[in-house]
Structure 1
Amino acid sequence: MTSKDIIRVIIATAILGIVSTAHAADLTTPPSRAPIPAAANRNPWQMRLRALGVITTDSGRVDGLPGSDLSFSDTVVPEFDISYFFTENIAAELILGTTYAKVHGGGSISALGEIGKTWLLPPTLTLQYHFTDLGAFRPYVGAGLNYTLFYNQSGKSARSLDVKNSFGVALQAGFDYMIDDHWGVNVDAKKIFLRPDFDANVGGANVSGKARLDPWLLGAGVTYRF
């Protein structure tokens, strides 16, 4: 089983556990549960804490080396986000978290093995539409912009590695299941189109290229609405 398969199993297990918990909570909630407050009385701020699987696309190139390819490690990390609701349907969400990626050579440069490692800080801002006519079940879709900062970079088979900070487009879909007026569970998926340029020094030669990370961010966690 590959690392990608392991991460998918972890995320799927977390999602099934959350959905089961939410369903059980709904069945045991007395009929007299207070309704969700009207929009005019709601606090516009919301926050979430998620476990996040970062699954990258294994693709890239080193300029001037035909058949070169790249692959990247996948990770599971904690992630925090905060949302502001302009209306009950329209919200903006900012996600914050950090992770790392090990860069491996592939194709004609597979002999390089692990080229190096870089940490990523990928703040992402999305504008969302929330569907509010389904009771406690509140799905949403969104789109926005990502700016990823690469830091604490080091080479392994390469003497040095410098991945450039880069903008990317983000697409999003997910849902909250509200257990009461404030607490809920959340499942979320984002696709970020991220293709930074990089420079490296391999065997004394300076090379450059493009890494096609294009990660999926698959998360499950807890929602709190103020």
Structure 2
Amino acid sequence: MNIVSKTFAALGGLAVVAGAAMAMPAQAADISTKDAYAAEEEYYAPASIWGPGWMIRARGIGVIPDEDGTGALDDLDISDTVVPELDISYFFTTNLAMELILATAPHDIETADGTNVGDIWLLPPTLTLQYHVDMGAFKPYVGAGVNYTVFYNEDAASGFSNLELDDSFGWALQAGFDYHLRDNWFFNVDVKKLWLSTDASTSSPAIDEEVDIDPWIVGLGFGYKFGAPAEPLPPLK
């Protein structure tokens, strides 16, 4: 078969396909409607909004120490607290991201019998590597990473002097989810567990003991993902 014959054969095939499509308008309309509904469902989590890029979240967090002391500081009680938190994340892919959390929190310290030892502030920046599961509008994730806690503004209570807690490294695990609300906005729930140990000391009375603070950090907030926003579909007809 020469090139001219092949060309006419191809054109004939296209004509047959076009005629069949025009002969089935009802089926075509039905498929179009189904595709529109499917696209409407996909609107909640298009690839553009979940793809690589920056995301920031603002949360309110509860910091709940799971403390354990030794020696003179055995059965130590460190108060719970609620503070704001800023989270900066970068998505390398749709599923892989890195998160840095920034927050600072005050805590009161008491002994087991209720004696006030003093109060402190801690700054625990935590960096985690996360894996996100794409489930449409709902996107759960898990993460693991490292924490470095800075203690400052230590203030010893009456009867104690020179309260000091040493800065230290620790480990972190987390789990949570983002839920796509609309455009670039998300609702977020996040839970972290930090393993944090420090040496606590006072000069009078002379105390120098290891303390495990090991807090749970539970947060609720909202996030904004930079990038192409999701666009709503026109109404179905």
Unaligned runs of 5+ in 1: 1-29
Selected match of 1:87 from 84, 93, 97: 93
Which secondary structure does the structure 2 equivalent of 1:144 belong to? strand
- 1:78 maps to a residue whose letter is P
Which secondary structure does the structure 2 equivalent of 1:176 belong to? strand
Query: Which residue pairs with 2:4 in the alignment?
Result: none
> Does the 8 Å CA contact 1:36/1:180 hold for their aligned counterparts?
no
Q: Would the alpha carbon gap of residues 45 and 58 (structure 1) be closer, same or farther in structure 2, given more than 3 Å must change?
A: same
For residues 201 and 122 of structure 1, what CA distance do their matches in structure 2 show?
25
Q: CA deviation at 1:142?
A: 0.1
Selected match of 1:49 from 50, 58, 61: 58
Query: Which residue pairs with 1:26 in the alignment?
Result: none
For residues 71 and 82 of structure 1, what CA distance do their matches in structure 2 show?
31
Q: CA deviation at 1:194?
A: 0.5
Larger Rg: 2
For residues 160 and 177 of structure 1, what CA distance do their matches in structure 2 show?
47
Q: CA deviation at 1:170?
A: 0.3
For residues 137 and 49 of structure 2, what CA distance do their matches in structure 1 show?
18
What is the alpha-carbon root mean square deviation over aligned residues? 2.2
| Residues 55-94 of structure 1 mapped to structure 2, 5 A cutoff | 55-62=64-71, 65=72, 68-94=74-100
> Does the 8 Å CA contact 1:181/1:225 hold for their aligned counterparts?
no
Listed one character per residue, the Cα deviations across residues 31-64 of structure 1 (whole Å, up to 9, x for unaligned) are 48845443599451001000100001132123xx
Q: CA deviation at 1:206?
A: 2.1
Answer with 118-127 or 177-186: which moved more. 177-186
> Does the 8 Å CA contact 2:52/2:93 hold for their aligned counterparts?
no
- 1:178 maps to a residue whose letter is H
Unaligned runs of 5+ in 2: 1-38, 227-237
> Does the 8 Å CA contact 2:45/2:180 hold for their aligned counterparts?
no
Q: CA deviation at 1:154?
A: 1.0
For residues 40 and 92 of structure 2, what CA distance do their matches in structure 1 show?
30
> Does the 8 Å CA contact 2:42/2:136 hold for their aligned counterparts?
no
Aligned pair count?
A: 187
Selected match of 2:175 from 169, 173, 176: 173
Listed one character per residue, the Cα deviations across residues 12-43 of structure 1 (whole Å, up to 9, x for unaligned) are xxxxxxxxxxxxxxxxxx94884544359945
Query: Which residue pairs with 2:125 in the alignment?
Result: 123
Listed one character per residue, the Cα deviations across residues 115-171 of structure 1 (whole Å, up to 9, x for unaligned) are 011100000000000001x11000000000000000011100311210000111000
Query: Which residue pairs with 1:195 in the alignment?
Result: 197
For residues 149 and 55 of structure 1, what CA distance do their matches in structure 2 show?
17
Listed one character per residue, the Cα deviations across residues 61-108 of structure 1 (whole Å, up to 9, x for unaligned) are 23xx4x8331100000000101001111000000001001111112xx
Query: Which residue pairs with 2:152 in the alignment?
Result: 151
Structure with higher strand content: 1
> Does the 8 Å CA contact 1:102/1:117 hold for their aligned counterparts?
yes
> Does the 8 Å CA contact 2:52/2:90 hold for their aligned counterparts?
no
Structure with higher helix content: 2
TM superposition score normalised by structure 1: 0.77
For residues 195 and 43 of structure 1, what CA distance do their matches in structure 2 show?
35
